[in-house]
Amino acid sequence: MPALSLPSKDIEKQIKDKQLAPVYLLWGEEDFFIDRLTALFETQLLDEMQKEFDFSLYFAPDLKSQEPGLKGVMANCKQFPVMSPFQVVIIKEAQSLDNWGPVEDYLQNPVATTVLVLIHKHKKIDKRKSVFKRIEKVGYSLESSPLSEAKYRNWTARYISERGYLIQNQALALLNESMGNNLNLMANELEKLFINLPPGTEINEETIEKYIGINKDYNVFKLEEALAVRDVVRTRKICNYIRQKPKDFPPQFVLPQLYRYFVKILQIHYAKDKRLAHNEVLKITGIAPYYFDQYERASQYYNYRNTAAIIRLIRQYDAKAKGVDSNGMEIADLMDELTFRILHI
């Protein structure tokens, strides 16, 4: 009996081997894995001639206003393929479906030569619904959840390695800090490196600056480093760079990064108070072992009370960035004021 949830790699292998279940449900709040598998279902199972006859793509919102709607799609699923061993039927934006009844009825006796793919993005499913229990019995699903910071870092390193490249720790940290845990953005930006560099190349900060455009000296990662040791001069230089290129430093990206940084410092203080072992501290904070010394050093510059106050400050300025009591402050002015207050807290 099929299991309800499979890792992305296992479904990729099923597609490659063309050993397919009658139904797949791809759902969750992390788009990357869903988009990647959807593209494989669309491009790897049928050639262009076969797709003329045996491939159907629907958008769930359209089915609400068109007759025969979802029932018509399920009727299509009961047809036999014309030019290939199976037909592929994909329904995107399935999270907008109000009535899953026709799908559940079809899955009582699905056609073995039809591969039905349901794309349910940006929200969770209600696993208590009978239709999802039915999928558990006859097909597979992928739950695509946002990665934790540690898993995101490991995913980036593994993704680069799988493409045949090496990466320096400092460069990996620069990428992770600059992409804001956005897997699609990370994959797209890395593609710029893969296109321009031969496999086997070790990626460093210089190649990232050259091909992706992240300045190796003026970025959020370097801002964190400067604040960590209360380096006023370096902080001012980075803030001046932000003033020159404000579009490269949107507050909705920069402020959450700073918030997470100081939360980790607060967690280190908590761990010290509880006298936790080093491995436990790494597990709680998600800090990479090769960067722990930086956070440890920062915890010496900012005590527990300082750090808690800074976190409250960042929340306050995040609200300002969203228009609350901001008096029309630009991002550069906001960052100038916030960093000044952090350095002098």
Q: Where in the chain is the domain with CATH 3.40.50.300?
A: 8-144
Has residue 329 got a pLDDT over 90? no
Give the model confidence (pLDDT) of 49-62 as tens digits: 999 999 999 999 99
8 A C-beta contact, residue 261 and residue 223:
no
Mean pLDDT of 155-173: 94
**149-211 belongs to which CATH class?**
mainly alpha
Q: Which of 81-85, 123-127, 326-330 has the highest mean pLDDT?
A: 81-85
* C-alpha span between 157 and 289 (Å, rounded): 14
- Min mean pLDDT across 137-141, 286-290, 295-299, 300-304 is at 286-290
pLDDT at res. 247:
87
Mean pLDDT of 114-124: 94
CA distances from 133 to 90, 308, 340 (A): 20, 45, 55
Mean pLDDT of 32-56: 96
SS (H, E, C) the chain: CCCCECCHHHHHHHHHHCCCCCEEEEEECCHHHHHHHHHHHHHCCCCHHHHHHHEEEEEHHHHHHCCCHHHHHHHHHCCCCCCCCCEEEEEECHHHCCCCHHHHHHCCCCCCCEEEEEEEECECCCCCCHHHHHHHHHCEEEEECCCCHHHHHHHHHHHHHHCCCEECHHHHHHHHHHHCCCHHHHHHHHHHHHHHCCCCCEECHHHHHHHCCCCCCCCHHHHHHHHHCCCHHHHHHHHHHHHHCHHHCCHHHHHHHHHHHHHHHHHHHHHHHHCCCHHHHHHHHCCCHHHHHHHHHHHHHCCHHHHHHHHHHHHHHHHHHCCCCCCCCCHHHHHHHHHHHHHCC
The angle formed by the CA atoms of residues 46, 77 and 86, to the nearest 5 degrees, is 30
Q: Where in the chain is the domain with CATH 1.20.272.10?
A: 229-343
pLDDT at res. 240:
94
Give the model confidence (pLDDT) of 186-223 as tens digits: 999 999 999 999 999 999 999 999 999 999 899 999 99
Has residue 66 got a pLDDT over 80? no
Has residue 126 got a pLDDT over 90? no
Cβ-defined contacts of 300-304 (< 8 Å, 24+): 301/228, 301/229, 301/230, 302/262, 302/265, 302/345, 303/269, 304/266, 304/269, 304/273
Q: Band of the pLDDT at 64, cuts 50, 70, 90?
A: confident
Q: Using CA atoms in the order 125, 130, 135, 138, what is the torsion angle rounded to 10 degrees?
A: 170
The dihedral region occupied by 213, where left means phi > 0, alpha psi between -120 and 50, and beta the remainder, is: left
- Taking the domain 8-144, which CATH number applies? 3.40.50.300
Domain 229-343, second-level architecture: Up-down Bundle (1.20)
* C-alpha span between 56 and 72 (Å, rounded): 12
Percent pLDDT > 70 in the chain is 98
Q: Band of the pLDDT at 4, cuts 50, 70, 90?
A: low
pLDDT at res. 1:
41
Mean pLDDT of 141-156: 89
Q: Where in the chain is the domain with CATH 1.10.8?
A: 149-211
Mean pLDDT of 158-166: 95
